[in-house]
A = this chain, B = another copy of it.
Amino acid sequence: MPLLSPINNQIRTNMKLYAEQYKNELFHNILPFWQEHSLDKAQGGFLTCLERDGKVFDTDKFIWLQGRQIWMFSMLYNEVSPKKEWLDVALHGADFMEKFGRAEDGTWYFSLTKEGKPLTQPYNIFSDCFATMAFGQLYKATKVQRYADIALNTFNSILERIQNPKRKWSKAFEGTRPLKNFALPMILCNLSLEIEHLLDPAMVSSLIDNCIHEVMEVFYDQKSGLILENVAPDGSFVDCFEGRHLNPGHAIEAMWFIMDLGERLGKPDLIERAKELTLKHLESGWDQEYGGIFYFLDVLGKPSQHLEWDQKLWWVHVETLVALAKGYHLTKDQRCLEWFEKVHQYTWEKFRDQEYGEWFGYLNRKGEVLLPLKGGKWKGCFHIPRALFQCWKVMEKMAETTFKEAV
């Protein structure tokens, strides 16, 4: 396998071009779209239900997307350039979230009206996760202690609820078929890094170790070689709809996160395994007939209970681009580059809206636009700009490193 072999001039040039392309798209297409269309200047917070041209088609406000957009603009302020306009967007969202987002017990509602009245109860622990991310990054940008407190209190409340994240809203009858879900250990690790500056280093280290173990061992299914979305508490396979459920994009997203951890911890073996798993999920998740990555599959090939299983979603594809870019950067496995080019071509051709800017989110199996929206209840200012940022940075690093080598 051509690991860590030097990359040639042609590839170097391509990396530079990719870096430019991803960076330009981020700053000249995606961010302006959200800056122009999503700020609710009358009532505060972000309007995320945007039609193709950016027109608002629904005014409900979803805590996931409020938090993610605050995080996005704070992160750019912290990592790219301390532009006042970016911080202003983050603060605009944070004011609204802080004022209206929480129930009496400090947990975060799922959605609010445009005026900030609670619409959906705090049943969804990921609302809290994205609130933690938002206020953790915003604290980094502003050093306002109140934001640190919100992030830390929310994080602690998540830890308290970890065994029963849905609380009274859980519909599962306790004890009959206990299952644990892949998303939570994954996101906890992410969160602990996001607010590392507020946590005890020993805790961060233990959360990272636990996350790597859960993702790479507990949820990893030996038989299929794939990562399952739900397993028994001891990690064993459960033959039911939830137990057979595969979410290739989710597993691949986790893999670039594991690669980051591998780099941080200096563990090339971990990186190698994450890269191999990226390729494995991509090969089994790729639609051989129409291209693109399936949304959901069943590990035993049985019919999914999700009617949207064959659709092609924006976040699945852009997260895959990040994993492949990082996989190539860190291992120089030629297959990552080949797959990157294939997924890049599909993604930019099918999802990008040439006419009105930003990208479509939902395509049918054949790659045709299923919903013409640019934002909705689940799609906001997050996966696309984060992936563009990540790809830009990785590609730039590759172009620079090899340039230095060449000099």
Contact = CB atoms under 8 A, between A and B. Distances in A.
Interface of A: 51, 57-58, 60, 109-110, 113, 117-121, 123, 168-173, 176-177, 239-241, 302-305, 307-311, 362, 364-365, 370-373, 376-377
Contact of A308 (B302, B307, B377): B307
Given A109-B173, A172-B120, A57 B303 contact: yes
Nearest to A173: B118
B372 A60 contact: no
Given A110-B171, A171-B169, A176-B118, A307 B311 contact: yes
Contacts of A57: 302-303
Contacts of A119: 172-173, 176-177
Contacts of A113: 176-177
A58 B307 contact: no
Given A58-B302, A303-B51, A365-B364, A121 B171 contact: yes
A141 to B, nearest CB: 31
A241 B377 contact: yes
B176 A376 contact: no
Chain B CB within 10 A, most for which of A51, A303, A362: A303
Contacts of A239: 58
Nearest to A168: B168
A304 B362 CA distance: 11
A240 B365 CA distance: 28
A225 to B, nearest CB: 22
Contacts of A308: 307-308
Nearest to A60: B240
Nearest to A52: B303
Contacts of A168: 168-169
A373 B301 CA distance: 12
A121 B240 CA distance: 17
A371 to B, nearest CB: 4
A376 B303 contact: yes
Contacts of A118: 173, 176
A119 B242 CA distance: 12
Given A303-B51, A307-B308, A58 B171 contact: no
15 contacts: A51-B302, A51-B303, A109-B173, A117-B173, A118-B173, A119-B176, A120-B173, A121-B172, A169-B171, A303-B372, A303-B373, A305-B377, A307-B307, A307-B308, A364-B365
A304 B173 contact: no
A120 B57 CA distance: 35
Contacts of A109: 173
Contacts of A170: 121
Contacts of A240: 58, 60
A304 B376 CA distance: 9
A302 B372 CA distance: 9
A248 B338 CA distance: 46
- Most chain B CB within 10 A, of A60, A113, A170, A302, is at A302
A171 B302 contact: no
A176 B241 contact: no
A287 B303 CA distance: 26
Which 9 A-B pairs give the minimum distances between C-beta atoms? A307-B308, A118-B173, A303-B373, A303-B371, A57-B302, A117-B176, A121-B171, A123-B171, A120-B171
A269 to B, nearest CB: 37
A329 to B, nearest CB: 33
Nearest to A57: B302
A307 B296 CA distance: 13
A109 B171 CA distance: 10
A121 B377 contact: no
A307 to B, nearest CB: 4
A307 B370 contact: yes
